[in-house]
Amino acid sequence: MSKPFTHQQATPPALLAALKKLLRPLVRLLIHFQISFPQFSELLKSLYVDVAERDFPVESAQQSDSRISLLTGIHRKDVRKFRNAPLDDSVPKNPAVGAKLVSTWLEVAPFCKQAGRPAPLFLKERMGQPSFDALVTLVSKQDLRPKAVLNEWLHSGIVTIDSDGKVCLAQDAYIPQKNIDEKCYFFARNIADHLSSSAHNLRNENDLFFDRHVFYNNLSQESQQKLERMTEEQGLELLKSLNRAARQLQIEDRQKENAIHRFNVGIFYYEESTKGDS
């Protein structure tokens, strides 16, 4: 569905207004974590250079500092500096393993009684029964120690230990609780994909990505809480259904040459009081 990137001659005024609105919560987050404007500005410059070079190439020609400077408005001296310094994308990779562990536990025999019903697991293999050790080893390929995962998950409330000494999954989706690295990983992946989807729809008139929402105001707190519960319950069921289908299709596609695609579907919920808003 993706098409080559081009640049327009005129900037729609509505886009600038939209940017101001969507950047506000980001700036709020930056200030919260003491990321100053000079820091963010330097990061933004490097991204402008990287995106111009990667996504707006010249056909049958090599990118020049001058062309990137023209596209971005960044001085050629800075363009040269950023092109010679690799962009640091050091977002932690391990957090994705946590989501895969829970997904496998929920959907793959013998770790589940049936799809969506995770089985309690002994920490180590006993009498041929599936174990938590085997689950972690299967998913992480020896990269993680099962005992370390267990301790962290007990601390986070993701698992509990029952009276038989078995490890039980306490929630049917992986939700990072306290680890800021994990939260940042999913924040980056999910927001970036949603933004890429919306940006694609702004740039194109056909072959649009599905992007819908429900918005209401003038609601009581009781009504808002009811809608929140509905979102959590029905949204989770949809995601679990998609997870089962995607896992099966991934298995079927394993030997196909065109199995190079990925997808990301997310559901979010937000509410706030609008009292005093103009």
Domain layout of the chain by residue ranges: 95-169
- C-alpha span between 259 and 163 (Å, rounded): 44
Q: Which residue has the tokens 């002994």?
A: 122
DSSP string, 35-102: --HHHHHHHHHHHHHHHHHHHSPPTTS---HHHHHHHH---HHHHHHHHHS-------STHHHHHHHH
Two structure tokens written together for 68:
């990137």
- Rounded CA-CA distance 143/149 in Å is 11
Coil, strand or helix at 109: coil
Q: What does the alpha-carbon distance between residue 92 and residue 186 come to, in Å, rounded to a whole number?
A: 10
- CA dist., res. 114 & res. 107, Å (int): 7
| Cis before 12 (ω within 30) | no
Residue with tokens 């092109």: 83
Mean pLDDT along residues 215-220: 94
In this model, does residue 257 exceed pLDDT 90?
yes
Residues 21 and 138: their CA atoms lie apart, in Å, by 44
Q: Express as a percent the part of the chain with pLDDT over 70.
A: 88
Give phi and psi for 103, each to the nearest 5.
Answer: -60, -45
Please give the C-alpha separations between residue 210 and each of 21, 162, 197, in angstroms, as whole numbers.
22, 42, 8
Q: What percent of the chain has pLDDT over 90?
A: 56
Q: From the CB of residue 59, how many other CB atoms can be counted at a distance below 10 Å?
A: 5
pLDDT for position 89: 57
Please state, rounded to an integer, the average pLDDT across all residues of the chain. Answer: 87
Q: Which two tokens stand for residue 179?
A: 């680890």
pLDDT surpasses 50 at 141: yes
SS3 2: coil
Judged by average pLDDT, the poorest of 31-45, 63-77, 91-105, 149-163 is 91-105
Alpha helices in the chain (DSSP H): 13-32, 37-55, 65-72, 76-84, 95-107, 132-140, 146-156, 180-203, 221-252
Q: Find the angle CA(147)-CA(133)-CA(130) to the nearest 5 degrees.
A: 145
> Residue 153: what pLDDT?
86
**pLDDT at position 227:** 97
